[in-house]
Amino acid sequence: MEKAIVVVESPAKARTINKYLGRGFKVVASMGHVRDLPKSKLGVDIEAGFVPEYEAIPTRKKVIKTLRDAARGAGHVYIATDPDREGEAIGWHLAKELGAGKRPVSRLMFNEITKMAVRAALDHPIEIDQRMVDAQQARRVLDRLVGYKLSPLLWDKVRRGLSAGRVQSVALKLVCDREEEIDRFESEEYWHITVRLAGRVPPDFDARLVKQGKRALKVGSGAAAKAVVADLEAADFVVDAVVTRERKRHAPPPFITSKLQQAARFPVKRTMQIAQQLYEGIELPREGSVGLITYMRTDSTRVSEQSLGEVRQHIEAAFGAEYLPPRANRHRRGKDAQDAHEAIRPTSAERTPESLRPHLKPEQYYLYRLIWNRFVASQMLPATFDDTTVDIAAGDYVLRAKGSVPKFSGWLAVYGGADAEAAPPAAGGDEEAATAVLPPLAAGERLTRRGIKPEQKFTQPPPRFSEATLVKELEENGIGRPSTYASIIGVLQMREYAEKAEGRFKPTRLGRLVTRLLTENFDDIIQVAYTREMEEQLDRIEEGKADYEGTVGGFYRNFSVDLEKAARSMPDIKANGLPSGEKCDKCGAAMVMKVGKFGMFLACTGYPECRNTREVDKAEESVTTGDETCDNCGRPMVVKRGRFGQFLACTGYPACKTTRKLIATPQGVAAVREDRPLDEPCPKCGQPLVVKHGRYGEFTACSDSRKCRYIKRDSTGVACPSDGGDIVVRKSRRGEFYGCENYPKCEFTLWNRPVPEPCPTCGAPFLVEKVTKRHGRQLLCHKDDCEYARSAELAVPAAS
């Protein structure tokens, strides 16, 4: 019997599927795309109806040969690429390369890599969906037309090496528009006035001033706040009304791609990499390689009937029948959602995060737990609270206090009860619940004033986008698709159009310049609404409601007209520069701004007689180095940019040629200081220890770092439960965390500081210190299955 071959994208996926199939099958990996448009030319025949000219990717030629050899003796070829447009296109290219006319080629479609799903797909093979292929091809060709037609224009007018993209340029415009909002923002002063009050019985509580008479009160200055405080000091405080109502908090739906990217603590690209690992298969002791989650690129909240039945059984067994709704919860799909795939969920609710923890890496466990918790919670009853609002009259003023008492934990039980700190935001845009504890109060009750606290505040500008909030903005505006968000964000940084400052995106001068030029000359294609309409048109191609040639042709006709106009009207910055308003300090002529290989700079218009140039410090936008002075001559240091990036240079150049390296830190960019020697030997090699300056701040290490890699860590005085090593303080871009000193041999880590005190409930060797808005500073047992907690005021100090 001839073997059949099954082609997937990755070796990990191949290993998992191979275990589910018999001897008559051979599973091979294509390593992703095998064909693409050529890099050296446009690769699209515009005159012939936008026919793409595909060629084998150079790095995949050996893979193609291997696949052809495997297919030569096979009686049937099965394409089992990912179940989305990109996967369908990869499958179409594979079918072309493996000779669809010589042997039967079928498509296997499954949403999860489990034995049942793979065997079911094999029992019901389908044809490659040409409409999905056309939709992917349309996206690829549109992106190529914009990139290969628009980028050369930027090369000609601004600087060689720049790029523009159909979607990336719109994403950059969002970042630039937000920066303009921040630039225009004018902060306003306002005051919060809070009064500490006491009733007949404890506890004391806080009430905030909200009205004067029947009008909402806004206190806008210190003088006004002082006058209000004086009035309140002379007033009597009487309970005017007490209103208690039950509030339900419904569980959010299971994850779709964008919501998972927003919820995970990793960058978007890393989140998708870890999710891919969980989808393709993890080696488990009794089951072998098993896919733990369903396909992770989806915008549908739909869940299969089989998985609904399984999770409902799990909820009843693990939490009790009182947590189970009479019927399965059905979550409303988004307006533009493609319903081809299920939501992201565990392939089996019975594989709890804790049961898999020994077999997962920490980041895999974290993401799987996030997905599992969200899915199980989505099928549970709402959490209920008694919300109490108390209005208090104080003369002509009205103060308000709010409190909330949990009645039924509902779906929050998955996250540890009614403590919403660990749970995701409420579904449906519920307002944040007040968490103050109020004493019993009744209308007409007189209250005792304990104190008045006026607080000065200032309105804040809209925040810059983080990766999570930029994904949310792209999603809400219909720009791109779940599978493209990571690449969009990556391109903005790679092209140096935007950079991260304290974890948030800030456009560079170059990014703002490119956006301005594109907005002035291609206002339609860079607009959010137009890009959203194009995404909808691609969806219509997939649904069979639009055709490939008509869609691409309609776009190109408008685009080519704008392209011709821009070639004539776009300013020639490369030749003439942009006015800067500055004068040359050597000849007095006007300076213009130009774009060079290492960024933007000022150049004298008197060239070639005057060749004076001056750097436009990138530091003005994103780099904070403080008032740095030269260690040799005492002159100020300035930021410059060379072929290896930014550095500090003495302003006394060429007389003083002192430079210092700059490194990226979580707070921006910092200058590297010289190592500071200490009178302390290295415990490993005996050489002196020195204080070094790294990307996460100062640290102490061996001075002979080429031979000895010893780094001194602050001890917590707690032994690692995995191997007995000391748990020490470590640093990352997200701040301090705690890990075993024997890393990388031991990967035990904690985000909360361990305290050397055994748990009085379960006897665990140490507790952890945690700070939340609800409970303040607490000591908790580090074991997830132990509920011991107490105020951290009684904490035993950690060893230093």
In what helix (H) or strand (E) does residue 69 lie, and over which residues does it extend?
helix 61-72
Among 198-212, 351-365, 614-628, 759-773, which stretch is predicted with the lowest mean pLDDT?
Answer: 614-628
pLDDT of residue 731: 73
Q: What is the pLDDT of residues 702-732, one digit of tens each?
A: 887 777 877 777 788 888 888 888 898 887 6
Query: What is the SS3 string spanning 128-151?
Result: CCHHHHHHHHHHHHHHHHHHHHHH
- Position 517 pLDDT exceeds 80: yes
The arithmetic mean of pLDDT across residues 654-667, rounded, is: 66
pLDDT of residue 422: 45
Euclidean distance between CA atoms 602 and 591, whole angstroms:
6
Contact 52, 43 (CB under 8 A): yes
* Amino acid letter, residue 426: A
Beta-strand (E) ranges in 544-667? 578-583, 590-596, 599-604, 613-615, 637-642, 645-650, 659-665
Rounded-to-integer distance, Cα 207 and Cα 452, Å: 10
Distance of CA 454 to CAs 187, 188, 460, 523, Å? 19, 16, 19, 48
Q: How far apart are CA 464 and CA 181, in angstroms?
A: 10
Decide if pLDDT at 281 tops 50: yes
pLDDT digits (tens, 9 = 90+) for 25-72: 999 999 889 999 998 899 999 999 999 999 999 988 999 999 998 888
pLDDT band at 449 (very low <50, low <70, confident <90, very high): very high
Window from 192-196, 508-512, 567-571, 700-704 with minimum mean pLDDT: 700-704
Q: Are 16 and 281 in contact (CB under 8 A)?
A: yes
Q: What is the pLDDT of residue 479?
A: 87
Q: Residue 94 above 90 pLDDT?
A: yes
- Look up 295 and say whether it is catalytic: yes
Q: Which residues contact 126 (CB under 8 A, 6 or more apart)?
A: 106, 107, 108, 109
pLDDT at 797: 37
> What per-residue confidence (pLDDT) applies to 623?
36
- Would you state the pLDDT for residue 672? 58
What DSSP string describes 275-294?
A: HHHHHH-EEETTTEEE--BB
Contact 687, 679 (CB under 8 A): no
766: closest CA among 774, 775, 776, 755?
A: 755
- Looking at the predicted structure, is the pLDDT value of residue 335 above 60? no
> What is the DSSP code (8-state) at residue 124?
S
Amino acid sitting at position 432? E
Mean pLDDT of 123-143: 94
Give the pLDDT of residue 749: 85
Mean pLDDT over residues 8-26, rounded? 87
- For residue 227, the one-letter residue type is A
Give all strands of the β-sheet with 105-107 in edge-to-edge order.
25-29, 4-8, 76-79, 105-107
More confident residue, 715 or 17: 17
Query: Residue 645: its pLDDT value, please?
Result: 56
pLDDT score recorded for residue 763: 83
CA-to-CA distance for 21 and 222, rounded, in angstroms? Answer: 75
pLDDT range class, residue 697, cuts 50, 70, 90:
low
Q: What is the pLDDT of residues 458-476, one digit of tens each?
A: 999 999 999 989 998 998 8
pLDDT given for residue 436 in this prediction = 67
**More confident of the two residues 721 and 1:** 721
Quote the CA–CA distance of 486 and 270 in Å, as a whole number: 9
pLDDT score recorded for residue 92: 94
Q: Which of the residue ranges 190-199, 580-589, 692-701, 741-750 would you say has the lowest mean pLDDT?
A: 692-701
DSSP state for residue 266 in the 8-state scheme: S
Check 295, 397, 556, 738 and give the catalytic one: 295
Tokens (6 digits) for 307 = 């998985």
- Helix (H) / strand (E) containing 534: helix 528-543
* Whether 285 contacts 358, CB under 8 Å: no
List the one residue out of 568, 483, 33, 502 whose CA is nearest residue 258.
Answer: 483
Per-residue model confidence (pLDDT) at position 551: 94
Q: Which residue has the tokens 């793979």?
A: 118
- Which range among 109-123, 193-207, 482-496 shows the weakest confidence by mean pLDDT? 482-496
User: Mean per-residue pLDDT for 513-521?
Assistant: 91
Q: Is 96 helix (H, G, I), strand (E, B) or coil?
A: helix
- HSE of 788 in the Cβ direction (CA atoms, 13 Å)? 19
Residue 678: its pLDDT value, please?
78
pLDDT of residue 319: 94
Residue 525 has pLDDT above 50, yes or no: yes
Residues 611-653: tens digit of each pLDDT: 888 877 543 333 334 456 777 777 777 766 655 556 778 877 7
DSSP secondary structure, 350-381, as one string:
TS-HHHHGGGS-HHHHHHHHHHHHHHHHTTSP
Query: Residue 378's pLDDT is what?
Result: 95
Checking if the pLDDT of 580 tops 90, the result is no
- pLDDT of amino acid 101: 67
Residue 712 Cα distances to 41, 520, 676, 715, 733, angstroms: 54, 55, 14, 9, 19
| pLDDT confidence tier of residue 798, bands split at 50, 70 and 90 | very low
Determine the pLDDT at residue 469: 92
* Selection from 367, 353, 257 nearest residue 301 by Cα: 257
Q: What percent of the chain has pLDDT over 90?
A: 46
Six-digit token pair at 700?
């102490």
Task: Categorize the per-residue pLDDT at 433 as very low, low, confident or very high, splitting at 50, 70 and 90.
Answer: very low
Mean pLDDT of 174-200: 94
Spell out the long-range contacts of 747-755 with Cβ–Cβ below 8 A and sequence spacing 24 or more.
Answer: 747/361, 747/362, 748/720, 748/721, 748/722, 748/723, 749/362, 750/782, 752/780, 752/782, 753/716, 753/798, 754/716, 754/718, 754/727, 754/782, 754/798, 755/716, 755/718, 755/779, 755/795, 755/796, 755/798
Residue 242's φ and ψ, nearest 5 degrees, are -125, 120
Quick one: 384 exposed, middle or buried, by C-beta within 10 A (0-12, 13-18, 19+)?
middle
pLDDT (0 to 100) of residue 153: 92
**Of the listed ranges 213-222, 387-396, 423-432, the one predicted with least confidence:** 423-432
CB contact at 8 A, 682 and 707: no
Residue keyed to tokens 């140490």: 766
User: What stretch of H or E contains 305?
Assistant: helix 305-318
Residue 375 clears pLDDT 50, i.e. is over it: yes
DSSP 727-783: EEEEEETTEEEEEETTTTT---EESSEEES---TTT--S-EEEEEETTTEEEEEESS
**DSSP characters over 389-429:** EEEEEETTEEEEEEEEEEEE-GGGGGGTSS-GGGSPPPGGG
Average per-residue pLDDT in the chain?
85
